[in-house]
Chains A and B, each alone.
Chain A
Amino acid sequence: MQDIMIIIIGAILVNNIVLSQFLGICPFLGVSKKLSSAIGMGAAVTFVMVLSSLITWLVQRFILEPLSIGYLQTIAFILVIASLVQFVEMVIRKTSPDLYRALGVYLPLITTNCAVLGVAIINIQKSFSLGSMLANSLGNAIGFTLALILFAGIRERLEEADIPKSLAGIPIALITAALMSISFLGFTGLL
């Protein structure tokens, strides 16, 4: 149990997927303008990340390894993730049109979200067991959501702030992201 907690805390804070490993920057900048859509995106990525990690782990374990075709890992994983995202898109479109509209183009972009593929590959590289693998995926997904929500909260306040004209918009967002990344370095000694 302690191992699981360490993996989860480590994935959320110490090796935060966005702020320490710099994966998934595109949705991090793209969907962080509004807190509500950031939460929606975080939930969608969490769902896709955990489910795709599970399926890719099973694919690796029971198809790629026994047939010794591990070199097909990337293409097989992308196949899994792309199909899953399509599936999630259909479900969200049916169940929550508002969330569908808020996520817009970023929902299909989860397909190419390197964070999802990155977590799937990290799970294999670290040769996790099923339980640790799920803990790691969940931790990374929560870490992604946490970074996204924190960033969206800051950006919503930045909208109101008096920012020099040349820095307004994306430049100040990038500076903010850099400062957040630096502050997350403070968690390095935690574990």
Chain B
Amino acid sequence: MLYAILSLAILGAIFGIVLGFAGKKFAVEVDPRVEAIIGVLPGANCGACGFPGCSGYAEAIVAGNAPLNACAPGSAAGPKIAEIMGASIDPSQERKIAQLLCNGTKANAVARYEYSGINDCHSAATMYSGSKLCTYGCLGLGSCVAVCKFDAIKIGPDNLPVVDPDLCTGCNACVLNCPQHVLQTVEVSKLVHVRCSNKDKGKDAKAACKVACIKCKICEKNCPTGAITVGAVAVIDYAKCTNCGICVEKCPTKAIEKIPPIAGAIPKQPEDPSSQGCAHCGICKQ
């Protein structure tokens, strides 16, 4: 018994001493900036920056292969990283939040069957793309909620996810996890959103959901800046959108929504449409 304890203890001590010396002799100098950057990053390891976790991003920054402001959750970390690296970043980049491209509430969307399987969108999506007649819509089972590391998404009373604009960091995790692809990250100052992803013909879309995009192209014709185009479904080019809301007024099915400005964002003042000539929207006549 004594021999057993002693011999193993001595073996362990010998190996420990050898490893200790080897650790000194073969020490690799890690750039202290890597450690410092890991310190200021949020540590969520969400992968939104495109690198394997926060440490991978920190190494890429020090190696000069990554932009300093690629961290979506830690938008506050950008300036600190810039300080560590002794560089400056463009402050104009705006934070983004997730927006839902569907308004298929229980009242709006027609149900096709009752889903009683596993409470997960991916599972429901395998059953004929969900229980709604609209096969493009949000399934409302909360796969986005499960994947959100910041508790920014909740399933609301309408059975649709509601994004908390203060908590959402725009990390894109929910967007990537959504089997229906009905989430999108958009700059916070953008207020006009198409709440429909249905790519069916107008008649079929309307039959599936009261607030579907019916591809009438009225929004496209009336947009003063050409920001909205109707292909398979109406899509807003947020680089051109000025939040004027003409498309919201004109949309016959109310598939486009203008949300109230979000506190903390720096919304661009909607430009006066008259300054760009008449868009023939007809609002002035009403």
Does B associate with A? yes
A69 and B15 in contact, given A90-B22, A93-B26, A94-B26 (Cβ under 8 angstroms): no
In angstroms, Cα B19 to Cα A79, docked, is 12
Q: Are A91 and B26 in contact (CB under 8 A)?
A: yes
A58 CB to nearest chain B CB (Å): 11
A21 CB to nearest chain B CB (Å): 27
Q: Are A90 and B26 in contact (CB under 8 A)?
A: yes
B192-232 Cβ-contact flags toward A at 8 Å (1 or 0): 00000000000000000000000000000000000000000
Q: How many residues of B contact A (CB 8 A)?
A: 15
A64 CB to nearest chain B CB (Å): 8
Q: Are A94 and B11 in contact (CB under 8 A)?
A: no
Closest to A71 in B: B4
B77 CB to nearest chain A CB (Å): 25
In angstroms, Cα B23 to Cα A59, docked, is 24
Q: Are A90 and B7 in contact (CB under 8 A)?
A: no
The interface residues of chain A, by DSSP majority, are classed as helix
A69 and B4 in contact, given A79-B15, A83-B18, A83-B19 (Cβ under 8 angstroms): yes
B29 CB to nearest chain A CB (Å): 10
Residue B113 at the A interface, CB < 8 A?
no
B222 CB to nearest chain A CB (Å): 44
B1-28 Cβ-contact flags toward A at 8 Å (1 or 0): 0011001100110011011001100111
A106-130 Cβ-contact flags toward B at 8 Å (1 or 0): 0000000000000000000000000
Residues of A within 8 A of B7 (CB): 63-64, 67, 69, 72, 76
**Residue among B4, B8, B19, B28 making CB contact with A94, cutoff 8 Å:** B28
Residue A188 at the B interface, CB < 8 A?
no
B45 CB to nearest chain A CB (Å): 15
Q: Are A87 and B8 in contact (CB under 8 A)?
A: no
In angstroms, Cα B14 to Cα A111, docked, is 18
Q: Are B4 and A87 in contact (CB under 8 A)?
A: no
B9 CB to nearest chain A CB (Å): 11
In angstroms, Cα B26 to Cα A93, docked, is 8
Residues of B within 8 A of A86 (CB): 19, 22
A71 CB to nearest chain B CB (Å): 8
Q: Are B26 and A83 in contact (CB under 8 A)?
A: no
Residues of A within 8 A of B23 (CB): 90
In angstroms, Cα B8 to Cα A75, docked, is 9
- A-B contact number at CB 8 A: 44
In angstroms, Cα B28 to Cα A79, docked, is 24
In angstroms, Cα B27 to Cα A26, docked, is 29
A83 CB to nearest chain B CB (Å): 4
Q: Which of B22-49 contact A (CB under 8 A)?
A: 22-23, 26-28
A59 CB to nearest chain B CB (Å): 7
Q: Are B15 and A72 in contact (CB under 8 A)?
A: no
Residue A80 at the B interface, CB < 8 A?
yes
Q: Are B3 and A87 in contact (CB under 8 A)?
A: no
Q: Which of A58-103 contact B (CB under 8 A)?
A: 59, 63-64, 67, 69, 72, 75-76, 79-80, 83, 86-87, 90-91, 93-94, 97
Q: Are B8 and A80 in contact (CB under 8 A)?
A: no
Residues of B within 8 A of A76 (CB): 7-8, 11
A158 CB to nearest chain B CB (Å): 24
Q: Are A87 and B12 in contact (CB under 8 A)?
A: no
Closest to A89 in B: B26
In angstroms, Cα B156 to Cα A174, docked, is 45
In angstroms, Cα B19 to Cα A97, docked, is 19
**Residue among B15, B16, B27, B28 making CB contact with A80, cutoff 8 Å:** B15
Q: Are A83 and B15 in contact (CB under 8 A)?
A: yes
Residues of A within 8 A of B3 (CB): 67, 69
In angstroms, Cα B6 to Cα A63, docked, is 11
A160 CB to nearest chain B CB (Å): 25
The 10 lowest CB-CB distance pairs between A and B, nearest first, are: A83-B15, A94-B26, A90-B26, A67-B3, A69-B4, A90-B22, A93-B28, A63-B7, A87-B22, A86-B19
Task: List residues of A whose CB falls within 8 A of some B CB.
Answer: 59, 63-64, 67, 69, 72, 75-76, 79-80, 83, 86-87, 90-91, 93-94, 97
- Name 7 interchain pairs, CB-CB below 8 A, sorted by A: A63-B11, A64-B7, A67-B3, A67-B4, A69-B4, A86-B19, A91-B26
Known: A76-B7, A86-B19. 7 other contacts (CB 8 A): A67-B4, A69-B4, A72-B4, A76-B8, A79-B15, A83-B18, A91-B26
